[in-house]
Structure 1
Amino acid sequence: MGEAVPPAAVHAEGIVKRFGATLALDRVGITVAAGDSHALVGRNGAGKSTLVSVRTGLHTPDAGRVSFQGEPAPAPGDTAAWQSKVACVYHKSMVTPARLTAAVATAQALPEVEFVLDHGGKPPIAAGGREPWAGLIGALAALPNVSCKLSGLVTEADWKSWRPRDVLPYARQLLDAFGPDRALFGSDWPVCTLAGQYADVYALAEQAVAALDPAERAAVLGGNAARIHRLG
């Protein structure tokens, strides 16, 4: 008889995840054997980050299952148990003042590297606070090699009751700090649908840039992203 095949390091099958009316993952699966490396490749909004978030316990799937070494994944919310199974460096959703401080130091140490701060550094909109976020944003904006995405703001507000007046002061502070040449709109779709629809997010961005001249508005709403990410 042949040797028994060891269970996969991580296995996910039938994963379904919705954000509001948006179906982000539809019966998705992936298996990673011990020692293997995988890359998830796809367009923006394809569900790559959502699948990683499900596999690392950040999001709970609506259907499907995840296992590690053949054993069921820990219960939702059991952070210590998940951390004993898997580690992940997230490109978003994990911004804290300590990490913003580290971002300032990193950008200062690597002036030849262009950095884009995601989701406006996650301002404390729901709490109505500004510091230490505002001071750290000012420090990052003072570095010419750092730009900032105006994205992911509505999910930092109260998902059910936010109004433009809650979010716009933070968006405008980011615009004032980075200027219209280093701020770029992003929708954070489909995650934004936890708090609103794409049309709501885009309308909010239009209000934020309303005081800019036409060329500056065009830059923030698309031109800067094309330039910074070298699209075409």
Structure 2
Amino acid sequence: MIDAHQHFWRADYPWLPDRLRRDYTLADLRPHLAATGFTRTVLVEAGLCTAAETAGFLALAAGTSEIAAVVGWASLSDPDLAETLAAHRRGAGGSLLAGIRDQVQAGPDDFLDRPAVRAGLATVAAGGLVNELVVRHAQLPSVARAAAALPESTFVLDHLGKPPMDDLGRWRELITPVAECPNVVAKLSGLVTEVGPGWTAEDLRPFVETAVELFGPYRLMFGSDWPVCELVATYEQVAAVMTAILGGRPAGIFGRNAARVYLDGSGS
């Protein structure tokens, strides 16, 4: 089984809330993997937004059997993006670079429509890498437009686009055009933190079930979003609630789809 979304970071990362302000390392992750039965993970950039972080993650992955692939950071509007990607691939662990994630959520609603950003998305796709997107739900229309404009790219949507957890109808309206793009794969991740303290399975269920309806079982991936999830839940609780809602651990959602998207090079 593959956890398609986890992070490492140091205590000095600027954005960390006090509750998460400590180092989170491979040694911290391994007991959670053992407890839940996951054997491999996809390590995703943690919002530091530096090339050095990506290089460090790749070097770590090169010597770590649990890390199947790395989604690194790069600026999509960087005119030297192609060389940045090539440099990462020349470095230690470069073959494990599977995708690029810019912090789109920090930009305006139409960020993905900007010509320089579209060019960056095309550069990532031309390099055989996944375009990983962390967005706010208000940005979902631009996700659908970008995916339709770049059918040769595989897009991975983190956290189901961060739904407004009190408005299923609004989110369904926004996510449906995204799901209609066959080159978009979505992650069942990050939902507990979108609800916040006191979340229940019934808070998550309608969003998970709608995602299964719209994307189908072959374009969804489980992600723990550890250690961000520790704001409101343990790794084990996140794995358990998704297992309960899905009625088990479908092989695609809990590993095969991540292997296809990140490891096999065959995208969606």
Q: Distance in 2 between matches of 1:22 and 1:201?
A: 21
Equivalence map 1:55-66=2 (5 Å): none
Q: Distance in 1 between matches of 2:105 and 2:252?
A: 23
Indicate whether 1:221 and 2:221 are aligned.
no
* Cα RMSD (Å): 3.2
Equivalence map 1:52-131=2 (5 Å): 89-90=102-103, 95-125=135-165, 128-131=166-169
Alignment counterpart, residue 172 of structure 1, candidates 209, 214, 217: 209
> For 2:152, what is the secondary structure of its paired residue?
coil
The aligned residue for residue 53 of structure 2 is 40
**Relative to structure 1, is the Cα distance of residues 38 and 229 closer, same or farther in structure 2, using a 3 angstrom cutoff?**
closer
Contact 2:189 2:224 in 1 (8 A): yes
Q: Distance in 2 between matches of 1:199 and 1:140?
A: 30
After TM superposition, the score normalised by the length of structure 2 is 0.53
Which letter maps to 1:179? G
Q: Distance in 1 between matches of 2:11 and 2:247?
A: 44
Q: Deviations over 1:127-167 (max 9, x none)?
A: x212432112111111111110000100010x221111111
Q: Distance in 2 between matches of 1:114 and 1:224?
A: 12
Which structure 2 residue ranges, 5 or more long, are not aligned?
A: 1-9, 26-49, 62-66, 73-100, 107-133
Which letter maps to 1:15? D
For residue 105 of structure 1, report the CA deviation from its aligned partner. 0.4
Query: Which of the two has greater helix per residue?
Result: 2
Contact 1:104 1:136 in 2 (8 A): no
The aligned residue for residue 195 of structure 1 is 232
**Relative to structure 1, is the Cα distance of residues 132 and 112 closer, same or farther in structure 2, using a 3 angstrom cutoff?**
same
For residue 121 of structure 1, report the CA deviation from its aligned partner. 0.7
The aligned residue for residue 150 of structure 1 is 188
Q: Identify the range of structure 1 (14-23 vs 128-137) with the bigger mean alpha-carbon deviation.
A: 14-23
Contact 1:19 1:191 in 2 (8 A): no
Q: Identify the range of structure 1 (93-102 vs 173-182) with the bigger mean alpha-carbon deviation.
A: 93-102
Q: Distance in 2 between matches of 1:210 and 1:103?
A: 30
**Relative to structure 1, is the Cα distance of residues 228 and 24 closer, same or farther in structure 2, using a 3 angstrom cutoff?**
same
Q: Deviations over 1:75-115 (max 9, x none)?
A: xxxxxxxxxxxxx9515686334411110000011111111
The aligned residue for residue 70 of structure 1 is none
Q: Distance in 1 between matches of 2:23 and 2:213?
A: 34
Which structure 1 residue ranges, 5 or more long, are not aligned?
A: 1-12, 27-36, 50-87
> When the two structures are aligned, how many residues end up with a matched partner?
162
Contact 1:92 1:118 in 2 (8 A): no
Contact 2:24 2:227 in 1 (8 A): no
Q: Which has the higher contact order (CA 8 A, sep 6+)?
A: 2
Contact 1:117 1:149 in 2 (8 A): yes
Which letter maps to 1:134? R
Q: Distance in 1 between matches of 2:192 and 2:172?
A: 17
Indicate whether 1:186 and 2:186 are aligned.
no
Alignment counterpart, residue 139 of structure 1, candidates 177, 181, 188: 177
For residue 19 of structure 1, report the CA deviation from its aligned partner. 6.8
After TM superposition, the score normalised by the length of structure 1 is 0.61
